[in-house]
Structure 1
Amino acid sequence: MKKNILISSFDMAIGGVERSLIGLLNQIDYEKYDVDLMLFKHEGDFFPFIPSGPTLLPEIPLYSSFRNPIYQIAKEGHFSIAISRVMAKYIGSFYGKMKNIDEPGYLTIQYGWELTNRFLPKLNKEYDVAIGFLWPHYFVSEKVRAKKRIGWIHTDYSNIHVNKKLDARIWNKLDKIVAVSEGCSKTFLNIYPDLKEKTTVIENILSPEFIREQANAEDPKEIQKKRGKTTLVTVGRLTYAKGLDDAVRACKVLVNAGYNIEWYVVGYGPLETDLENLINELELQDRFFLLGKKTNPYPYIKACDIYVQPSRYEGKAVTIREAQILGKPVIITNFPTAKSQACDGHDAIITPLDIDSIVTAIRTLIEDKTIRDRLIANVLRMDYGNESEIQKLYKLIES
């Protein structure tokens, strides 16, 4: 008899977590498992890429409101949710100031769930396994009847700020915890060592064949290849974590030093205006380009000479592996989980987390063809396909 599986997440907006979810859904054996997919909101540029295998559950209005502005939630009559969201925002901000936290975003999300949880409905169906794919895991731990509950970690816990007491309460309600990299698991267990026995690693599932196929699907019109010019590309949300302000400043140093470069960023996010202002301030309008969100980022990666990931922290950056699959020399900053993503000097350059070091790494790859060619040759020899990771999930389901 088939086991009933529930997988839940927020929506299918463009992002690494969502690409990872698509990879997982594409690999599940639907002859073996009946899978329901619970998306709180049926939207996002990746929504059309959901395969036919899972059953998409209907939206539940109180859950779909999580992505809406507070005034809209109140306008729709969900006053308890709206008031709870306002309280969460202020509590998160207050707690952040008390702890000298610059980025209280995770706290706001956490308190948002904690305060609204009592007003949210439960699912009626019982499942053999309920999987929460995106933190925080209030939904699968408290709103779903399941014999086994599994929650995913996609981020580097050494660089996020949460209320640990509330967080631990939810993690302890899960039967298994899945981190997307060894580095991600290590930083999580440094915070919660008591959860070691229930924590395992399942990497984001990538198909090299699909990535190469998508890379050839179109030409990126914004990128014009010119003799003597070096094209840099970064893919990621425009957030503090991605370190794109450092990228802009590194670009300025390189331009001032006489390097003929153009740097393109594929992605969108809350810091777009701040980055645009910085680009204008440093007079880089013809050198550093924010291209916005792209449903298919692979042609842009394919078009670059060097792929750069200047992140301050990552759980497992899918884009790094995608660039390697496309045969690109890669530079990544030495965020805490970097060494679980690449081998310095072999399939990437891992550089310290500062502007001067990013500049030095880029200069090295521009000037030293031997190093550049060695990185390219090494990534082309590697088999980065990891579709077999799905077997680890099957083992968790069946154990």
Structure 2
Amino acid sequence: MRILFYNGSLRMGGAEKILIQILKGLDKADKNIDLFISDDVKGENFFESEVPKDVKLKYLISSDLIEKTIYFKRKKKNLISKLFYNYYMKKEQKEKVRKLKELLKDKSYDIVVDFDMGLSKNIDLVKADKKIAWIHSPIDSWYRKADKIKRLGERLKKYDNLVVICDDMKEKTEKLYPFLKDKLVRIYNPFDIEKILELSEDNSEIEINKRDLLKERYIISVGRLDNYSKDYYTLLKGFKLAKNLGIEEKLYILGEGEERPLIESWIKELNLQDEVVLLGRYRNPYPWIKNAKIFAHSSRFEGLPTVLIEALICGIPVISSDCPTGPSEILKKGEVGCLYNVGDYKKLSEDIITLIKNEEIYLEVKEKSLKRGLDFDKKNSIDEIEVILKVGEKR
């Protein structure tokens, strides 16, 4: 069976991590798999080394071109730089299409899996008996204009199946595109529980001068440093209020991103320089999660937030915004962990205080967390993915 997987990048991210889990979990005995990655970003392709050796990896856009685009993106407030940014964005798209045509010349597949829908504008270039797209977050959270949402819907008609990663997202997608209802399939992201627990005991990646931080009492948050989607200002304000009410714990934020300076300015504004630690990025986040007292999440929107499930697998109580989509489903509407309305830093603070000050409640939530984490074992998801990857089976 000839299968093509496509994704935008191999950077550190939830979707990329899940892609690697799927590629590792599939039975390769009857499969010949190609993997096309759009962006070749030298030094940022964190998951490249984890791509299985029997998967053939090809990049579409050169690192030199991407570096130029990123350079002008950072200076976009300058009119000239904005013009150059738009120029290089168009040049990236042209290079992507050119490379696709080159790699696909005289080639056909049984199945193409468009893992981030980044192929949707060019899906006609791929000759395949079956076409599948993965939807990782609510479409109306990243496409705001009605005409763009409508155009995407027209492109999605070309796929045989659309995989959504939670029931709530399936429902929202059905409402947005009723004509796609029969193509939608819900498959939870696969998690290698045994591997996660093994890695949670491995401190080898952590710098020696930072290992003492693991011995502190702390709350952890994990995610890209992007305030638009992750809403770190609410997290910081909620933590600040909890500190004022007497908690001893510090706040660690694990992740990296272009908005680090903005978040650092808020930490200073709230006088939290001695209480908040920006850890940076780690390939293995699990020791930091496992040794935390609480996992706190403040996103405005998600798909099925990988980090929440990883925290549950590690047995760490979760406090999360009740954003669309995923947290409510993962936490069973608050039966496992705590949910608060997006932006409600006062409720976030109350939940922190409740879990830290009441040991009986804390231990009860911890036990429920461990049990819920088992529901996301990779075997169930990989079995469902194997079914959908059969040509002729359109669920």
Q: Distance in 1 between matches of 2:321 and 2:71?
A: 40
Task: Please name the residue that 1:49 is paired with.
Answer: 50
> What letter corresponds to residue 254 of structure 1 in structure 2?
A
| 302, 306, 310: which one aligns with 2:294 | 306
- SS where residue 195 of structure 1 aligns? helix
Q: Which residue of 2 aligns with 1:69?
A: 68
- C-alpha distance in 2, partners of 1:65/1:155? 30
Q: Distance in 1 between matches of 2:385 and 2:220?
A: 33
| Secondary structure in structure 2 of the residue aligned to 1:285 | coil
Report deviation, 1:121.
4.0
Give the structure 1 partner of residue 315 of structure 2: 327
Give the C-alpha shift of residue 278 in structure 1: 0.6
The aligned amino acid for 2:202 is A
1:351 and 2:340 aligned: yes
Contact 1:132–1:140, Cα closer than 8 Å, also in 2 = no
Q: Is the 8 A contact 2:68 2:88 kept in 1?
A: no
Q: Which moved more, 1:126-135 or 1:46-55?
A: 46-55
**Which residue of the other structure, out of 92, 105, 108, is the alignment partner of 1:126?**
108
* In 2, Cα distance between equivalents of 1:61 and 1:113: 6
Q: Which residue does the alignment assign to 1:205?
A: 190
Specify the SS of the correspondent of 2:3. Answer: strand
Q: 2:232 is aligned with what amino acid?
A: L
Unaligned runs of 5+ in 1: 74-81, 90-110
Q: Any conservation in 2 of the 1:135–1:153 contact (CA below 8 Å)? A: yes
User: Conserved in 1, the CA contact under 8 Å of 2:137 and 2:169?
Assistant: yes
Structure 1 counterpart of 2:119, one-letter code = H
User: What is the identity, as a one-letter code, of the residue corresponding to 2:4?
Assistant: L
Aligned to 1:156: 138
Structure 2 counterpart of 1:22, from 5, 20, 23: 20
Q: Secondary structure at the match of 2:308?
A: helix
Q: Matched residues in 1 for 2:170 and 2:28: separation?
A: 29
CA RMSD of aligned residues (A): 2.7
Give the whole-Å Cα distance in 2 for the aligned partners of 1:351 and 1:366.
17
Which secondary structure state, in structure 1, belongs to the residue aligned with residue 117 of structure 2? Answer: coil
CA separation in 2, counterparts of 1:182 and 1:386?
18
* AA in 1 matched with 2:141: N
* 1:289-304 alignment, distance < 5 Å: 289-304=277-292
Q: Name 2:77's counterpart in structure 1.
A: none
Give distance in 1, aligned partners of 2:304 and 2:66.
24
- Aligned CA distance change for structure 1 residues 367 and 24 (closer, same or farther; 3 Å): same
2:383 to 375, 391, 398: 391
1:112–1:199 distance in 2 versus 1, CA, 3 Å: farther
**What is the letter of the counterpart of residue 221 of structure 2?**
T
Q: Which residue of 350, 359, 362 maps to 1:360?
A: 350
8 A Cα contact 1:183 1:315, kept in partner: no
Q: Percent identity?
A: 26
AA matched with 1:47: E
Counterpart AA for 1:350:
L
TM-score, L = length of structure 1: 0.83
Deviation, 1:10, is 2.1
Q: Judging changes above 3 Å, is the alpha-carbon distance between structure 1 residues 66 and 375 closer, same or farther for their aligned structure 2 residues?
A: farther
> In the aligned structure 2, how far is the partner of 1:65 from the partner of 1:173?
33
Q: 1:167 to 1:201 in 2, by over 3 A?
A: same
| Secondary structure, aligned partner of 1:291 | strand
Equivalent residue runs for 1:184-263 within 5 Å: 184-218=169-203, 220=206, 221=210, 224=213, 230-239=217-226, 240-263=228-251
- Cα–Cα, structure 1 residues 117 and 293, in superposed 2: closer, same or farther, change >3 Å? closer
Which residue of structure 2 aligns with residue 36 of structure 1?
A: 34
CA deviation map 1:93-125 (0-9, x unaligned): xxxxxxxxxxxxxxxxxx998888766642122
Deviation at 1:272, TM superposition (A): 1.0
Figure out how many residues of one structure are paired with residues of the other and give that number.
364
CA displacement 1:338-387 (0-9 Å, x = unmatched): 22222244321112221111111111101111111001112233423132
| 1:50 to 1:310, Cα distance in 2 relative to 1, 3 A | same
Q: Is the 8 A contact 1:131 1:149 kept in 2?
A: yes
Alpha-carbon offset, residue 11 of structure 1? 2.2
The 1-side partners of 2:347 and 2:156 are apart by 37
Asked if structure 1 preserves the Cα contact closer than 8 Å seen for 2:255 and 2:281, the reply is yes
Instruction: Decide whether the 8 Å contact of 2:220 with 2:288 is kept in 1.
Output: yes
Alignment partner of 1:267 out of 226, 238, 255: 255
C-alpha contact 1:40 1:60 (8 A) present in aligned 2:
yes
Q: 1:199 is aligned with what amino acid? A: L
Kindly state the Cα deviation for residue 143 of structure 1 after the two structures are TM-superposed.
Answer: 2.6
Give the TM-score, by structure 2 length.
0.84
Q: Distance in 2 between matches of 1:68 and 1:173?
A: 33
Aligned equivalents of 2:143, 2:189: Cα separation in 1: 24
